[in-house]
Chain A
Amino acid sequence: MDQQKQKILIVDDEKGLRLGTKRLLEKEGFEVVAAENGTEGIAFGTSIEFDAAIIDMKMPDFDGIMVLKEIIKKYPNTACFIATAYASYDTAIESARVGAFSYIPKPFSPEELLLQINKGLEKRELNIQKEQWRKEREERLLEVAYEKTRLNTIINSISDGVLVINKNGEAVLYNPSALKFLVLKSITIEEYIIDKLPEKLAEQVNNFLKSSEYLKRSLTVQIHMKDNDLVVEATSSPVPAPDGSLAGVAIVIKNITELKKLEFLKSQFVSMVSHELKAPVAAVYGFLKLISDKSMNLSPEKQDEFIDRSIIRLDSLLKMVNDLLDISRMEMKTTQREIIELNLPDIINNILELFQLEINKKNIKIILNAALSTPSLSGDQDEITRLFTNLISNGIKYNKQDGSLNIKIEKIDDYLVTEIKDSGIGMKSVERNKLFHEFYRVKNEFTKDISGTGLGLSIVKRIIDSYAGKIEVDSEFGKGTSFRIFLPVIKNSQKNNKETLTNMQLA
């Protein structure tokens, strides 16, 4: 770039002077363009950027001031000179005012001209450099501003609360989540904030601020906010100043309410499980202690009875452990599912066969009503069998002598709906609400001799939920209970729409 010749424009209507100057400057190594009037001067001077321009003041079309103005408007860094034979104080002022670098009185000597032009070019270089610096500085300021906005946007968008406090205990930065989790209506930047913080957090922050030495570690505290159920975990970390002293404290506030709720549910579940497991163990232990204690003088009949009762308790304990293992497997989602097309009426018939002994014992009438065209169900055979086994088992267990069990399968909208209706002991509405809770068993005079783990319906609910289905319960105390199980069917598996009903009576 520097190798390129510097360009100079000469605008003068006086031919001799024009060509003479051109020749002189070309000899000095400049590239020179000459214009013979103002119009041409404006045209050349605004088409490319010249390093310098020497403009005659008096021309027939435009005066030199006019030409200079136009050129400077386009290229402010072109060093312009006004040349005139009528040098006057006024023209000097005027040309300086419109931006001329200098003013050359005619006639001028070559030395005088070159001196002036070199000064002008030097000035032009300085101007260009100055401008470049200004531009760079502006760009950098913009970058800083952008960086700051970006940081703010990031801090504002994180879901954890962020609050930064300076060493005077004043808030310097916060985000909306911090307001929410600290249950504050507002924070003003530079207000003293420590008093507004929950006591435990204020104490933690003061640990940093009031310590004589710089504490490097972070501190964490869990806070149960007053007046609502919010539980937050606040972690305070020291922010160092460039000299290594403490500049302030940054606090990150996490909402751990849900976590705490889960923790509570888990410990409740564990405590319930242990209680339910302990009861049969205690009963069997008690029986064995009594049998082994010769001083009790138990009759052989009593001893046999206690052994039988121990076996029953252990049997139900075993079932409960198995149910719990199933639940745990479902929760860990480690169940290996093999999804195949299932024929629900077949599955139900198989289950009913397994319960034939109990059905005969109670003389229960089974009515299975299923459309021939029942669409197949996509599911895991073991899970679906387990689901209906639990429900049918309840329908028999809680039924009356000579009762009935009605099972109806039909397709309603996109669901395969199975209704299982028994003529059993039924439930009160309070009991119905707790039905799917783990270990809940309806306790009354009818149920005291019926064994169960209290987990059957809880498993039913889990299986149905995992298939995106739903279950409805309708029950009347003393009259019976009906369950309606909705399992979604995959649409392309419907082939036949004929709704022919078959009746199958099993007892």
Chain B
Amino acid sequence: MVPADKKILLVDDDLDLLEQNKILLESKGFNVVTAEGSKKGWEVFKQEKPDAAILDLIMEEHDSGFILSYKIKKDELGKNIPVYILTSATYVTGFKFGASTEEEKEWIKCDGILNKPIMIDDLVNKLESFFDNKA
């Protein structure tokens, strides 16, 4: 039940949110590694080989999260891990996107969009069901 062996990569340029989400995920028993930007995020990803990644969308650029997600999904190490994009963009831009249909997943290259602030129980459910299906 408690996946201490599961390593989650968190990438966010807001250091406060990064730390909060780290504490939340750790409290649920996950092993968490963090990075403060998409460039650093890619380095940490290659180095730590996480089991899941949660990426902030708007970092250096307005689509940094999508680009990093795309890179991870194309990578041999990343193609089978869940990648979630964290954003408040659905609310503010009125521009709606999701990653629920196969077509959207293909285009966005991620497993889901999470709205800020993170609802930790939802996220844990998502991660656990993913890991359970894999097992």
Contact = CB atoms under 8 A, between A and B. Distances in A.
A296 B92 contact: no
A455 B92 CA distance: 19
Contacts of B60: 443
B23 A290 contact: yes
B127 to A, nearest CB: 19
B58 interface: yes
A503 interface: no
Given A274-B91, A282-B88, A296-B27, A287 B20 contact: yes
A3 interface: no
A275 interface: yes
Nearest to B58: A275
A278 B93 CA distance: 12
Interface string B44-67: 000000000000001010000000
A133 interface: no
B13 A283 contact: no
B121 interface: no
Nearest to B88: A278
Given A271-B93, A295-B27, A443-B60, A286 B88 contact: no
A443 B58 CA distance: 13
Interface in A269-296: 270-271, 274-275, 278-279, 282-283, 285-287, 289-290, 295-296
Interface string B14-26: 1111001101100
A282 B116 contact: yes
Chief secondary structure at chain A's binding surface: helix
A313 interface: yes
A274 B89 CA distance: 9
B128 interface: no
Most A-side CB within 10 Å, residue of B15, B23, B37:
B23
A283 B17 contact: yes
Contacts of B91: 274, 278
A362 to B, nearest CB: 22
Given A275-B89, A278-B92, A443-B13, A286 B27 contact: no
A485 to B, nearest CB: 29
A286 B16 contact: yes
Contacts of A333: none
Contacts of A443: 13, 37, 60
A279 B92 CA distance: 12
A200 interface: no
Interface string A426-441: 0000000000000000
Contacts of B14: 279, 283
B16 A309 contact: yes
B17 A286 contact: yes
Nearest to B20: A286
Contact of A271 (B23, B37, B92): B92
Interface string A278-320: 1100110111011000011000000000000100010000000
The size bracket of the interface on A is 20 to 34
A270 B92 CA distance: 8
The size bracket of the interface on B is 20 to 34
Contacts of A289: 20, 117
B93 A286 contact: no
A49 B128 CA distance: 118
A279 B60 CA distance: 14
Contacts of B37: 443
A289 B19 CA distance: 13
Most A-side CB within 10 Å, residue of B16, B20, B23, B27:
B16
Contacts of B24: 290
A283 B16 contact: yes
A448 interface: yes
Interface in A363-405: none
A286 B37 CA distance: 20
A296 B22 CA distance: 12
A447 B121 CA distance: 34
Interface string B72-94: 00000000000000001101111
A5 to B, nearest CB: 93
B97 to A, nearest CB: 14
Given A271-B92, A290-B23, A448 B36 contact: yes
B57 to A, nearest CB: 10
A270 B94 CA distance: 11
Contact of A287 (B13, B16, B58, B89): B16
A324 to B, nearest CB: 15
Contacts of B117: 282, 285-286, 289
A263 B13 CA distance: 30
A15 B94 CA distance: 112
Interface of A: 267, 270-271, 274-275, 278-279, 282-283, 285-287, 289-290, 295-296, 309, 313, 443, 448
Interface of B: 13-17, 20-21, 23-24, 27, 36-37, 58, 60, 88-89, 91-94, 116-117
CB-CB nearest 4 A-B residue pairs: A286-B20, A274-B92, A283-B16, A271-B93
Given A274-B91, A278-B116, A290-B24, 9 more contacts: A271-B92, A271-B93, A275-B88, A278-B91, A282-B88, A283-B20, A286-B17, A287-B20, A289-B20
29 contacts: A267-B93, A271-B89, A271-B92, A271-B93, A271-B94, A274-B88, A274-B92, A275-B58, A275-B89, A278-B91, A278-B92, A278-B116, A279-B14, A279-B17, A282-B17, A282-B88, A282-B116, A285-B117, A286-B16, A286-B20, A286-B21, A287-B16, A287-B20, A290-B20, A290-B23, A295-B27, A309-B16, A443-B13, A443-B60
